[in-house]
Amino acid sequence: MRISYSAPGRINLIGEHTDYNLGLALPIALPQRTFVSFDPDSSRALEVSSSLGDGPVRIGLDTVPGELTGWAAYVAGVVWALRTTGIAVPGGTMTITSEVEIGSGLSSSAALECAVLGALLTAADVELDRVDQARIAQHAENEYVGAPTGLLDQLTSLFGEPGQAMLIDFRDVTVQPVRFEPESSGVALLLIDSRARHAHASGEYAARRASCERAAAELGVASLREASVAAALTAVKDPVDARRARHVLTENQRVLDCVAALASADFVAAGALWNASHASMRDDFEITTGHLDLIAETAVQAGAFGARMTGGGFGGCVIVLVPQERVKAVGEAVSRAVCAAGYPEPSITRTHAGGGAGSANAT
Ligand code: GLA
């Protein structure tokens, strides 16, 4: 029996680097997906070919961290994480194709993990709650791949719904749908891929996480979720750590304000919050680049309601909320400014909230 499973990439509308601080975020799943086709058999290994890179790669069902790198490590990580959870999966032949570009900041890694996980669980005839699935995929990424990321990407890939964003509260790990259909209010969501890849950002990511953990420890709280901006600015002695904490705390509030703005379809207010989020990521958390700042600033100057970098930072994509009639002008202004500054021509597309992981290939 051939198993087909797929899972989407994501963009985060607002709430960046809040997940591992037990804060709030508001992502959507993208229409772009990663597809897995799996023919289980009685062997003790997976034979995996992928459009993501060279192959095929052989992954033993007894694989351990350190054995594989690159895209295959995400697949092997899921096999390993399932085994450590006590779930036995069969070997077989797996083929992976992906529409989510690696390193674009659209969470190609979570799309891959969640699609592989779904295919393996289907083959093993095991049903798992989506939060448990997210934790297994995160465990694979943290311990096998070695990236100390939070739960944002996996939860989004698993819980995505067409026309809906998700308000995620990472303290109690709850996901609430929030209607997100800007097109029905005459507003477009643009995805601008800078084409600058974030391949070497893992050290910076870990450094931001360590800064937040130091700040929380100094404030005597288990996570920054329990702290206030005023306390962070007075009690955290290191000025850099204090600014990192201020980003996280103000960003949590912006997520709530953005949910309120969307509830009344107020895209002007939502855009202003995106601009404030970008400024906070640029000045306090220092995860943007001059290239991404230029894209965001130019979009707003050309008539967008708001623009912000999305994802972990140091490259990847900018998202823009723009009235339909300004879409062309914003795209042209951004391309012109970026090329004049010597950066590659960005890819600019309109996008929307798509469906989450599943055996159907719905978008
Ligand atoms: C990356 C990580 C997520 C999250 C974001 C920033 O995408 O994988 O866990 O921390 O960065 O919001």
Instruction: Name residue 252's beta-bridge partners.
Output: none
Task: Indicate the pTM of the whole model.
Answer: 0.97
Using most ligand atoms within 8 A of CB, pick from 26, 104, 152 the residue to mutate for ligand 1: 152
Q: Which fold has domain 182-350?
A: Alpha-Beta Plaits (3.30.70)
Alpha carbons 321 and 294: distance in angstroms, whole number: 16
> What's the DSSP call for residue 66?
T
At residue 55, the pLDDT reads 75
Which residues in the chain land under pLDDT 70?
199-201, 360-363
Q: What ligand 1 atom has the least distance to the C-alpha of 151?
A: 9
pLDDT for 349: 97
Amino acid (1-letter code) at residue 191: L
Q: Report residue 3 as tokens.
A: 């198993």
Q: What 3-state class would DSSP assign to 87?
A: coil
Domain 3-179+354-359 classified CATH 3.20.20.150? no
In this predicted structure, what is the pLDDT of residue 283?
Answer: 98
Cα→Cα distances 188→182, 313, 352, Å: 6, 23, 9
**For atom 8 of ligand 1, which residue has the closest CA?**
149
Residue 262 near residue 271, CB atoms below 8 Å: no
In the residue annotation, 129 being an active-site residue is answered as no
pLDDT reported for residue 362: 41
Rounded Cα gap, residues 281 and 289, in angstroms? 10
Ligand 1 atom nearest the C-alpha of 152 is 9
CA dist 335 and 24 (Å) reads: 32
Q: What is the pLDDT of residue 200?
A: 55
Give the pLDDT confidence score for residue 54 in this predicted structure.
76
**Residue in the block written with tokens 């600015």:** 233
Strand-by-strand arrangement of the 317-323 sheet? 306-310, 317-323, 187-193, 347-350
DSSP structural state of residue 17: T
**C-alpha of residue 17 to centroid of ligand 1, in Å:** 6
Closest to 246 in 3D by CA, of 261, 231, 266: 231
Q: Which residues line ligand 1 (CB under 6 A)?
A: 12, 16-17, 19-20, 107, 149-150, 152-153, 311-312
For the chain, the domains span 3-179+354-359, 182-350
pLDDT of residue 360: 59
DSSP codes, 176-212: EEEE--GGGGTEEEEEEE-----TT-HHHHHHHHHHH
Predicted pLDDT of residue 52 = 78
Residue 205 CA: nearest ligand 1 atom is 11
Q: Which residues of 191-215 are buried (b: 16+ CB within 10 A; e: fewer)?
A: bbbbbbbbeebbeebeebbebbebb
Q: Which of 19, 41, 54, 153 is labelled catalytic?
A: 153
Q: In the numeric block, which tokens belong to residue 157?
A: 């890939």
Centre of ligand 1 to C-alpha 21, Å, is: 11
CA distance 240 to 221: 18
Dihedral (CA of 91, 93, 99, 102) sign: positive
DSSP 206-272: HHHHHHHHHHHHHHT-SSGGG--HHHHHHH--SHHHHHHHHHHHHHHHHHHHHHHHHHTT-HHHHHH
Query: CA 260 from chain center: how many Å?
Result: 22
Considering only CA atoms, which residue is closest to atom 11 of ligand 1? Answer: 312
Structure tokens at 65: 């961290």
